[in-house]
Amino acid sequence: MRLKKETEDGIIYKEPYFSSGTVTITNEDEMHQKLEVAEEEILERIAKWISEGSRWTIEIIDNHYINIVS
């Protein structure tokens, strides 16, 4: 993800990292719901960070990934 912010000196960029907490899935039927919860958690963190007067805007989300351990 790349964020940008316009300042008096020009545009500055930042590439923060947002993640959700670790989730344990014991049944395949839980996967979809738990992925939705993790996605919502990340989106809430991004929204909170942007809304706290930082004036940062999302320029691009260039990747995302899921780590899976069995």
Is 69 part of any domain?
no
From CA 4, how far away is CA 44, in angstroms rounded?
19
Q: Which domain holds residue 37?
A: 2-60
Is 66 part of any domain?
no
When divided into structural domains, the chain yields a total of 1
pLDDT-derived band at 57 (thresholds 50, 70, 90) equals confident
Mean pLDDT of 16-40: 88
Is 65 part of any domain?
no
Is 43 part of any domain?
yes
pLDDT in tens, 33-56: 998 998 899 889 888 888 776 788
CB atoms within 10 A of CB 20: 17
Is 67 part of any domain?
no
Is 15 part of any domain?
yes
Is 68 part of any domain?
no
